[in-house]
Chains A and B, each alone.
Chain A
Amino acid sequence: MMKPRVATAWLGGCSGCHMSFLDMDERLIELADKMDLVYSPIADIKKFPENVDVTLVEGAVANTENEELAHIIRRHSRIVVSFGDCAVTGNVTAMRNGLTVDAVLKRSYIELADLTPQIPRDYPTIAELMKQAKPLHEIIRVDAFIHGCPPTADSIWSAVSQLLEGKLPALSHVYLRYG
């Protein structure tokens, strides 16, 4: 039998959710036997593959690259999971939404710069910030949600175990934890 093909993606977030994923410790060895990791920031794979069974998406949709990847993920994945509070609510990534993009960039790259203050624009390798950072389900259809900032290793384990059995994770009350 083919193992489930699993991907994880990192959009506008701090990578804390992925760190929490790694916090599953020795259970990762069990996971490695049960699934194939086909795309992830912790694996050196450049292109999001086709025919993915489950994709966990960390982070809000904050820039044009995030948005493009979100649509590719949706097209190529049977189940898409919002992985952590930034994907679920926008969280810290969306706290800039009350301000203009110009004001945010000016504050970060000019006013708070120690050396060579300049706004990183007009570089082909740097994606443009979207006007507002959005939770993933405002951009694409999302099938399940894992909460927490970051989600605990136990809640990720619970959700991923259910997903690998082909079920949508019904997270118990214990794992419904914002923040």
Chain B
Amino acid sequence: MAILTLTINGEQVSGKDDESLLSIAQQHGIKIPTLCHLEGLSDVGACRLCLVEVEGSPKLFPACTTKPKEGMVVSTDTERLRKYRRLIIEFLASEGNHQCSVCVVNGHCELQNQAYETGLTHVTVPYLYPKKTLDASHEHFIMDRNRCILCTRCVRVCHEVEGAHTWDLSGRGIACEIISDLNQPWGTSESCTSCGKCVLVCPTGAIIEKGEGVSEMEKKTDFLRYIVTARQKREWINVDSDEE
């Protein structure tokens, strides 16, 4: 492990070579918007919201999966990035049913919050209204694929933390969706332990508890850092969640 020095938004910062740009930025109080990233899970760069500019390259890099290099010059908040971030939210909105007024997590939704952050007044691309399914076969929970943004937090928490790997991805492009086991109703899954971790890490109203009304459900992800800290450090303590 080596300590590297780099520049983020004109500020000299240092970080370890095995950390992500996102992690280094966060440690220095530099806010980069995220959706698929969640402290305690691996990073996959699925949502592209954390894209940053690196001097010397015309490409954009997802901060959550990009490692630092000595002397790297990074920009996290340019007009170009703000435009792309707004467009990402617009694409997500146009490819599902994200009508907040009839959603159980209205007011507590990470997609909704990012829409506010990016100043999204309206969606400029045409809405596609794809046909997506809702699976209410589980005894306690519902998977509403209309509200899914394919961040894969549920897939990762189920595989990495619960160890069940009930969830996975199927299909490509607009046909891509989250499936349980061998693409069967969730209620018939043999691997699901009904632990509910996927429900809590889901950033939108895609995986929800049954019986909740509009705006009633607030997701708490603190449990994840508690579990991960306990496993990695053998410390059974609640970690402050004020970092983000």
Contact = CB atoms under 8 A, between A and B. Distances in A.
A89 B129 contact: no
Interface string B115-159: 110011111101101111000000000000000000000000000
B131 A149 contact: no
B127 A173 contact: no
A155 to B, nearest CB: 13
From A137, A147, A179, name the one whose CB has the most chain B CB atoms within 10 angstroms. Answer: A179
Given A90-B127, A94-B129, A179 B116 contact: no
B101 interface: yes
Which DSSP category, helix, strand, loop or mixed, fits chain B's interface?
Answer: loop
B97 interface: yes
Given A95-B97, A132-B129, A179-B101, A89 B123 contact: yes
Given A145-B121, A179-B107, A135 B127 contact: yes
A95 B134 CA distance: 14
14 contacts: A89-B93, A90-B127, A92-B102, A94-B127, A98-B129, A132-B129, A135-B122, A145-B121, A145-B122, A149-B100, A176-B119, A178-B112, A178-B115, A179-B107
Interface of A: 82, 85, 88-92, 94-95, 97-98, 132, 134-135, 137-138, 142, 145, 147, 149, 171, 173, 176-179
Which 6 interchain pairs have the tightest Cβ spacing? Answer: A179-B100, A149-B101, A97-B129, A178-B100, A179-B106, A179-B101
